[in-house]
């Protein structure tokens, strides 16, 4: 646990506001005497000084001290060492005391998770009946508090009319109680007035009208407010919106809309008057629902991504059905496969994007919640001139055991890029799934 506390600055503030962080007294004593590399010594000294600045009575109480991020911090000494722990010959007295603190807390019917960077500590903790986790440098907000990309505001009807007649839009001061909002760059705004409703986008202190809400190509239609915003993000040229982050449960149209936009652009290759892309690359993490790494699955790369092909082809068939309504399913599938045969669409595992910098390409990164935060930078920095990255996922559908709904690539990217001038984001409403009523009820109940 000592190394976990020295893994980053302000380590006890890396947990969410619904947690109580317990530091065993033995660990605090060890940090006070810590000798090691200068950087770690500095962090140890900084942490001890932080503890010393807090009210001791609060730290030693059952409730703990409430930190600035809303979490609580406690210092707890251990009781008598149980014989089962004392017999652990390969572990130090310090380890014994930490294990005992966990046991003491569990006896009080508290949910306890031991955080450690040492795999031996985690393994032995599990044997002792203590849940353990690897220290994660940054835990992001609970799903209900994560960035949604859209906010609802109220505005006088006259101001709303001005937004449509003035290309510069209207200043945020036109919004009722505008000072109560954070005003994040590129956040979308659902506007309600005394006469009508509309959708705009906040940028540089003003709310501007959308550009593509009335001109979705290919005969496609936005089925709800969030899809209107999603289409706006997709259709924005890559010099304005090279990065799109979209969260939403299954059935909200994430993959369908992304592919539809990209295919429409592919079909216009060679038309210099229209924004076009040369190809589409659909990338997916190398972890399956059963936590199987694609690298260990048999076959060549085409065999490895085969399980993901079905879902893509299904979406392609539905997109093509609008253009070829009389085609049978077999004919639609054959038509969809032509995109792969021509090289217009490639499916790649995430790892294969490393080292590739490809211009004029639409990258659709699916299941982003199963990508580790440390790998996100490697992917985004593959962006080249004229390319657009679309990251899709559902933070509640994490299959990678090293990740969770608050610590994964999707949430990491969303929270870190919030307010970036080249990033558009939207969370598609789970109550507005475009699938059947049964699918929606299953999402709500199961």
**Higher-confidence position of 298 and 7:** 7
For residue range 113-141, what is the model confidence (pLDDT) as tens digits? 998 888 899 999 999 999 998 877 666 77
Q: DSSP label at 175? A: S
Looking at 200-328, list the stretches that DSSP marks H as alpha helix, in order from N- to C-terminal side: 225-235, 254-266, 301-304, 306-323
Q: How does residue 288 score in pLDDT terms, banded at 50, 70 and 90?
A: very low
For residue range 53-91, what is the model confidence (pLDDT) as tens digits? 999 999 999 999 999 988 999 999 999 999 999 999 889
Residue in 382, 351, 371, 358 with CA at minimum distance from that of residue 414: 371
DSSP line for 257-284: HHHHHHHHHHTTTT-TTS---SEEEEEE
Q: Are 171 and 205 in contact (CB under 8 A)?
A: yes
Residue in 152, 178, 175 with CA at minimum distance from that of residue 163: 175
* Strand, helix or coil for residue 422: coil
Q: Are 115 and 1 in contact (CB under 8 A)?
A: yes
pLDDT at 133: 87
DSSP line for 30-67: HHHT--S-HHHHHHHHHHHHHHHTS-HHHHTSSS-EEP
277 exposure class (CB count in 10 Å sphere: 0-12, 13-18, 19+): buried
Q: DSSP label at 404? A: B
**Higher-confidence position of 271 and 408:** 408
Average pLDDT over the chain, rounded to an integer: 86
Judging by DSSP bridges, how do beta strands 65-66 and 150-154 pair with one another?
Answer: unpaired
- For residue 69, give Cα distances in angstroms to 10, 184, 395: 11, 20, 22
For tokens 């770690």, the residue is 40
For residue range 361-409, what is the model confidence (pLDDT) as tens digits? 999 999 999 998 888 888 888 788 899 999 999 998 888 877 888 889 9
- For residue 6, give Cα distances in angstroms to 21, 42, 408, 412: 15, 9, 22, 22
pLDDT at 291: 42
**Higher-confidence position of 123 and 284:** 123
pLDDT at 410: 95
How much is the average pLDDT of 277-295? 66
Q: How does residue 440 score in pLDDT terms, banded at 50, 70 and 90?
A: low
- For the four alpha carbons of 192, 194, 197 and 201, in that order, the dihedral sign comes to negative
- For residue 121, give Cα distances in angstroms to 76, 92, 114, 117: 19, 11, 9, 8
Q: How far apart are CA 93 and CA 87, in angstroms?
A: 11
Q: Determine which of 273-277, 358-362, 401-405 has the lowest per-residue pLDDT on average.
A: 273-277
- For residue 430, give Cα distances in angstroms to 103, 167, 219, 410, 440: 40, 33, 24, 17, 8
pLDDT at 126: 94
How much is the average pLDDT of 340-347? 90
Sequence length of the chain is: 446
290 exposure class (CB count in 10 Å sphere: 0-12, 13-18, 19+): exposed
334-346 burial by CB neighbour count: b if 16+ within 10 A, else e?
Answer: ebbeebbeeebbb
For residue range 137-196, what is the model confidence (pLDDT) as tens digits? 666 777 888 999 999 999 999 999 999 999 999 999 999 999 999 999 999 999 999 889
Residue 189's φ and ψ, nearest 5 degrees, are -130, 120
């Amino acid at each position: 646990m000592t190394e976990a506390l020295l893994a980053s600055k302000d380590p006890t503030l890396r947990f969410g506001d619904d947690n109580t962080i317990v530091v065993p007294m033995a660990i605090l004593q060890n940090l006070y005497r810590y000798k090691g590399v200068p950087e770690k010594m500095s962090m140890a000294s900084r942490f001890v000084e932080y503890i010393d600045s807090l009210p001791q009575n609060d730290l030693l109480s059952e409730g703990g001290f409430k930190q600035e991020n809303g979490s609580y911090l406690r210092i707890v000494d251990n009781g008598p060492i149980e014989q089962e722990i004392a017999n652990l010959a390969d572990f130090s007295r310090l380890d014994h005391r930490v294990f005992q603190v966990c046991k003491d807390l569990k006896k009080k019917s508290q949910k306890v998770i031991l955080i450690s960077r040492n795999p031996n500590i985690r393994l032995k903790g599990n044997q002792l009946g203590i849940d353990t986790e690897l220290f994660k440098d940054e835990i992001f907000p609970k799903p209900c508090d994560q960035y949604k990309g859209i906010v609802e505001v109220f505005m006088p009807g006259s101001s709303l009319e001005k937004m449509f007649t003035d290309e510069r839009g209207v200043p945020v001061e036109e919004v009722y109680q505008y000072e109560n909002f954070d005003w994040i760059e590129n956040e979308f705004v659902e506007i309600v007035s005394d006469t009508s409703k509309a959708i705009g986008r906040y940028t540089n202190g003003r709310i501007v009208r959308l550009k593509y809400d009335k001109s979705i190509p290919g005969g496609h239609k936005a089925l709800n407010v969030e899809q209107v915003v999603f289409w706006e993000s997709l259709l924005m040229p890559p010099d304005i919106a090279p990065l799109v982050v979209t969260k939403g449960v299954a059935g909200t149209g994430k993959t369908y809309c992304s592919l539809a936009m990209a295919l429409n652009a592919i079909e216009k290759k060679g038309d210099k008057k229209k924004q076009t892309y040369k190809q589409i690359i659909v990338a997916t993490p190398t972890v399956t629902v059963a936590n199987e790494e694609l690298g260990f699955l048999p076959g060549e790369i085409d065999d490895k991504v085969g399980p993901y092909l079905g879902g893509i082809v299904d979406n392609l068939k539905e997109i093509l059905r609008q253009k070829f309504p009389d085609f049978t399913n077999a004919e639609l599938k054959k038509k969809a496969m032509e995109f792969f045969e021509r090289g217009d669409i490639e499916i790649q595992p995430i790892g294969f994007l490393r080292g590739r910098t490809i211009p004029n390409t639409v990258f659709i990164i699916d299941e982003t919640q199963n990508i580790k935060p440390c790998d996100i930078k490697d992917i985004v920095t593959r962006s080249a001139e004229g390319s657009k990255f679309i990251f899709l996922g559902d933070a509640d559908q994490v299959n990678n055991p090293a990740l969770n709904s608050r610590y994964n690539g999707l949430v990491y990217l969303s929270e870190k890029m919030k307010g970036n001038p080249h990033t558009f984001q939207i969370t598609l409403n789970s109550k507005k799934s475009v699938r059947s009523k049964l699918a929606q009820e299953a999402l709500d109940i199961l």
